[in-house]
Chain A
Amino acid sequence: MKYMGSAGDYRVDRPGRLVTRAARLAPDLKWQFIGAIAVASVATLVRLVGPLIIRGGIDDGITEGDKRTIIVAAAIYVGLLVVQYFASAAAQWSVAIVGERYLVRLRSVVFGRLLRLDMGFYSRSKSGVLVSRMTSDIESLQEFASDGAVLALTNLLTVVGVAFALVLVDWQMAFTVFAVVFVLAGVTVLFQRQARRAYDQVREQIGSVLATLQEGITGVRVVQAFTQEDAQASTFGRVNERYFEANMAAARAISWYFPVVAFLRIIALAAALGIGASRVLNGTMTIGTLVAFLLYLDWFFQPIINLSNVYNLLQSALAAIAKLFELMDEKVVVDDKQGAFDLSEPVSGSVALETVSFSYEPNTMVLDAVSVIVGAGERVAIVGETGSGKSTIAKLIMRFYDPESGVVAIDGNDLRDITERSRTGALALIPQDGFLFAGTLRDNIAYADPGAPDEAVWNVLRAMGIDHWVRSLPEGLDTEVRERGGRFSAGERQLVALARAFLSDPSIIVLDEATSNLDPETEIQVEGALRVLLAGRTSVVIAHRLRSAERADRVIMVDGGRIIAEGTHSELVESSPRYKELVEVWQRGAK
């Protein structure tokens, strides 16, 4: 959707700086860019010669009664038009190449930066806004690059060229026309101001129309269940009417501006004709010059109107690029430091948190001097209520964040000293909801190792006891997972996530257990696959179910960012009343 970007909170007050910085992104396109301008200039120059030939044809041909000169002039003009055609086409083409190449570069660079940013950034930002940087913002640049740039360039060259031509042909008449253009410029500024306000309104209102529309459609079952159809329709009617009003405000601006422009054009024409006529009558101008002047005049007004439209495109392109630079200036907090090293293989897989404190926002401590040691091959379940800090522990182990104080270590090495490559090879996270990427089942399972042969994938599936499930799919490993929305159930997605982790063969698994109920058969498969995956590996399980806690070697209960109980399941049932309470809730739910 297009209208989700945050409202322009960034002022485009330094266009020069923005443009320079934008240019630095693609220094290699510089010569192509200069070439494009050169071709466009040639095209414009050739075009501007046309009326001069007409003048020659009139003054030396028609006025003199010389038919031959007329035909020669026409022939030269035709020849010139052939040149003009190819020059114009080349200009269109070369400007597009520069613009579109630049966009490929920009998309890549911005996305690269987005990928490097750490989880802290992602949790601070709304995902809709991030997506809109890469979509609607770059698309408004695309609009400028693919059409706006050519229009800006050719129209600007035309206006400047025609202005020169007018002065060359007759400077007094030219300045009369410029006076009219001066008025036009003033009128255009007024119009732009009014139109921008109107279009801001239009954008805002279309946003609420679409939002209300979408809500009316996705919530239609609830609406009907409570017979709120009329109420919804009248709400929508109000929003829709505001959009209509906003559009009409824009329409009113357009409805006075363009008539005024057309009127000014006639005024300029009449003025040029008046002055020209008296000059011709007193012999200081030829009739051919007057006709040429009138032809130029026709080329003068439209480009000015076009330029004012291009100016809008340029404004939004600059605003978009300002937002992109803002994103690119985000600091990467979690990054490989100088001298980071690889873990020595084989990784045994012990995990330690030593007096780790952490908070997402200042003054709200999420973890408070927590120490946890998980031995190599041990299975630890972390339990606690929502907001207790248990999933933060998982995220710190994954180094989605760095602790504020204390150390998180694997095999005794501070995570901050280990290379990203080595860390991600040793660890795998299985999030609550089995996340699938667009692509085939094979792509998803072999995500950590895209080049893995089918044989390896099948080995994983067999080992986990889910190969028959994949075989039961008509297209097997080639099944597209995203086709027709959610093709896989929550349980099946979970299976894929487990297989993905197994194929990457990590030493340590961090599992955020799913909360929702799966249908019984899948549940059995997930349980089986999980058992295979966890066997012989270190695992930290954020547990939501009784049996996960029961099966763990050790249970850690977290509350308010602190560890309040630690031990085996049966020990804790005895020793911790809080834990016992939790177990009872679980039992009521399950039994």
Chain B
Amino acid sequence: MVEDQSRLADLRVGISLLWRVALRYRGVAAMSIVGALIWMAMVILVPYLVGSVIDLVVGRAEMSDIWPVLGLMVIAGAIQAVGISLRRYYGFKMSYRAEADLRNNIFTHIQRLAFSFHDVTSTGELMARASSDLSQLRLILAMAPITSANLVMFVVVAIVLIIIDPVLGLTASLMVPALLFTSARFASKVVGFSFDLQQRLSELSHVVEETVSGIEVVKSYGQEAQQQARLDDKAETIYDAAMGMAKQRAIYRPFFEIIPALGTVAVLALGGVRVVDGAITFGEFVSFTQYLAVMVLPLLITGWFFANLPRSAAAASRIDALLETAPDIREPEHPVRLKPGHGEVVFDDVSFAYPDGTTVLHNVDLRIPGGSSVGLVGATGSGKSTIAHLIPRFYDVTSGSITLDGVDVRDLALDDLRSEVSVVFQESYLFSASIEENIRVGDPMASDKRIRSAARLAKAHEFICGFDDGYATVVGERGSTLSGGQRQRVSLARGVVRDPRVLILDDATSSVDAIVEAEIQEALRQVMAGRTTVIIAHRTSTLALVDNVAFIEDGHVVAFGPHHELLEEVPRYAAVLATGAEVDA
């Protein structure tokens, strides 16, 4: 019951979006509908002309009387062609334009939605909105003009048939609901099965993916047969789903030929008798058979349209919901200019809770003097990453405030704030572009000279120059042509190219081994010099570089001071570091 209601609500929202979109492109849509109506008029005219020719023949007319009708038919054919062309071209144009514009809107919107949204939304889900959901919506938009013309046509043809002969006309018109219903029923059944089939195909592809990526393990244990059995199993379930679909096809498809044929039989029997009785002419009888023939395809398409409408409406309502989601982080209405300073960051009584209510930080007070560096140390889940992420406003504090050189970060224009607060993430995400373009993400206006000096600062210049293409080297998908340490240094260069007041290193060295960390160590020392730096780290070698350490437990800053002091004075601190550093066996 509830599900039905929500489905109904989906349908309403979806159709309203579809309607708004159609209105936005009304010029193009109107052209398509005009084309469809022209086409429709000719489709109705031609069988009538055929009937006229037959009547002339039966009436023993001269060929000279027949030629003009045939000429008229050819002209009607030409006009019909123009109608089809307009209908199709503008129908496509409207639907593709709407699809492209909506996809742009979705992309732009996704870019603006804050971290809190992306934390709980999978990439696949967003991809589906901007690809499969959109295509579903587009299909319906593309079919809308022809469907509206079709609907008009069914009514007009039914009226024409009934005018010619009420009994025969009504009987023949029965084909309209019969085919519409069968086609819609078939389409909705097939939609269900094809969804099922897609599901199983993707399960099979998971087996293939895991076998390929785990091939070393498979071969190491000689378990090829086990993987083969898994795959054969999935292939068999695909067979079942595909045959389920084939069954529907076998049941319904023949009807698409049988129903029009039954209509023809009805015309033959009823119409034949009426001709013999002299109620209708023989030409009208032939017109009937022709009308039945031309209506088959439009009826099938219309049935398909209405079967797919709910799915498209659901897709449209999902898209609508995404576009209606407001970003959590908003630009201030009256941004304040950033004051000159050295990047002093102050947390004043800051608490933070995630939207689901889990409180992560409790009344944190923390002052990081401009130009100094602080290491954040704490166990997983202690809240140290959150502290780092609050400074550039990836999230907003629940209470309290954070200031940068005396200005609340929420009063600064986002661009001003984030160009002065740079973050180097744990996973050094690189775009599939050249190294230079990747560094330039940090500052699109940077000169080549600045790019290179940033790379020097991050100790990346040497290895970049070692590549054949130097700075133009394209890094693969997610930077896979570079080693972990190299990726990390490129993202470090990206972080410092704009010479920010504050640099945040978010656990940037946790996933590299000791040798690579040693490579990065020197780069870190250089970029930190004279710059406010917040660094999340486990390794004592890194902590030796910072001025102060903030030790965090359960969302509280429990100790603050130089590393060596904390080591001596705070036993818990020493204990946390010790477990991480050396596990005695």
Contacts and interface: CB of A to CB of B under 8 A. Distances in A.
Contact of B227 (A77, A85, A115, A258): A115
A88 B224 CA distance: 42
A104 B235 contact: yes
B63 A591 contact: no
A398 B290 CA distance: 74
B512 interface: yes
A325 interface: no
Contacts of A586: 514-515
B96 A251 contact: yes
B494 interface: yes
Contact of A435 (B58, B78, B213, B257): B213
Interface string B64-77: 00110010011011
Interface string A182-217: 000000000000000000000000000111011111
A259 B273 contact: no
Interface stretch (B313-321, B367-375, B416-424): B416-424
A203 B513 CA distance: 41
Contact of A50 (B93, B99, B264): B264
Given A287-B282, A435-B217, A420 B222 contact: yes
B228 A111 contact: yes
A96 B58 contact: no
Most buried by B among A217, A233, A448, A515: A217
A264 B258 CA distance: 26
Contacts of A219: 429, 431
A516 B242 CA distance: 45
A585 B518 contact: yes
Interface residues of A, number: 156
A210 B112 contact: no
B221 A101 contact: no
Interface string A248-283: 100110111011101101110110011011101100
A104 B442 CA distance: 51
A108 B579 contact: no
B89 A92 contact: no
B242 A429 contact: no
A386 B84 CA distance: 65
A95 to B, nearest CB: 8
A243 B218 CA distance: 41
B25 interface: no
A580 interface: no
A406 interface: no
B531 interface: no
B239 A103 contact: yes
B268 A77 contact: yes
A476 B261 CA distance: 63
A515 B513 contact: yes
B107 interface: yes
Nearest to A92: B250
A504 B261 contact: no
Given A266-B80, A281-B63, A447 B204 contact: no
Interface in B469-522: 478, 483-484, 494, 510-518, 521
B444 to A, nearest CB: 6
B425 A269 contact: no
A298 interface: yes
Given A219-B429, A544-B513, A244 B221 contact: no
Contact of A220 (B93, B110, B212): B110
Interface in A103-161: 103-104, 107-108, 111-112, 114-116, 119, 122, 127, 130-131, 134-135, 139, 142, 146-147, 150
B24 interface: no
Contact of B130 (A213, A232, A400, A521): A213
B239 A104 contact: yes
Contact of B104 (A210, A221, A240): A240
Contacts of A236: 104, 107-108
Contacts of B221: 424, 428, 447-448, 500, 504
Contact of B214 (A213, A218, A421, A435): A435
A499 B429 CA distance: 33
A429 B249 CA distance: 50
A444 to B, nearest CB: 10
A103 B235 contact: yes
Given A223-B111, A229-B108, A270-B73, A255 B85 contact: yes
A105 to B, nearest CB: 9
Contacts of A486: none
A560 interface: no
B170 interface: no
B402 interface: no
Interface stretch (B339-347, B448-456, B537-545): B537-545
Instruction: Determine which residue in A228, A231, A302, A545 has the highest number of CB atoms from chain B within 10 A of its CB, and name it.
Output: A228
Contact of A424 (B88, B107, B220, B582): B220
B90 to A, nearest CB: 9
Interface stretch (B2-10, B46-54, B147-155, B458-466): B46-54
Contact of A215 (B115, B231, B261, B432): B432
A298 B291 CA distance: 11
A202 B297 CA distance: 27
Say whether chain B's binding surface is mostly helix, strand, loop, or mixed. helix
A55 to B, nearest CB: 10
B211 interface: yes
Given A96-B249, A131-B209, A447-B223, A226 B269 contact: no
B445 to A, nearest CB: 11
Given A544-B513, A585-B514, A62 B276 contact: yes
A546 B429 CA distance: 29
B118 to A, nearest CB: 6
Contacts of B580: 517, 519-520, 523
A474 interface: no
B92 interface: yes
A383 B281 CA distance: 99
A181 interface: no
Interface in A15-70: 43, 47, 50, 54, 57-58, 61-62, 65-67, 70
Contacts of B53: 273, 277
Interface string B360-393: 0000000000000000000110000000000010
Interface in B156-210: 201, 204-210
Contacts of A179: none
Given A263-B80, A287-B282, A224 B58 contact: no
A62 B81 contact: no
Nearest to B205: A135
A480 B441 CA distance: 40
B585 interface: yes
A233 B104 contact: yes
A463 interface: no
B57 interface: yes
Given A62-B275, A262-B84, A294-B286, 10 more contacts: A84-B258, A108-B235, A114-B208, A220-B118, A258-B84, A259-B81, A274-B70, A277-B56, A504-B221, A589-B518
24 contacts: A54-B289, A62-B285, A70-B268, A88-B257, A93-B247, A130-B208, A210-B127, A217-B126, A217-B127, A218-B123, A221-B115, A226-B422, A244-B96, A263-B77, A274-B67, A291-B289, A295-B264, A437-B214, A447-B217, A516-B510, A517-B539, A527-B583, A589-B518, A590-B540
Chain A to chain B: the 5 pairs with minimum beta-carbon distance, closest first: A266-B77, A424-B222, A589-B514, A96-B246, A520-B579
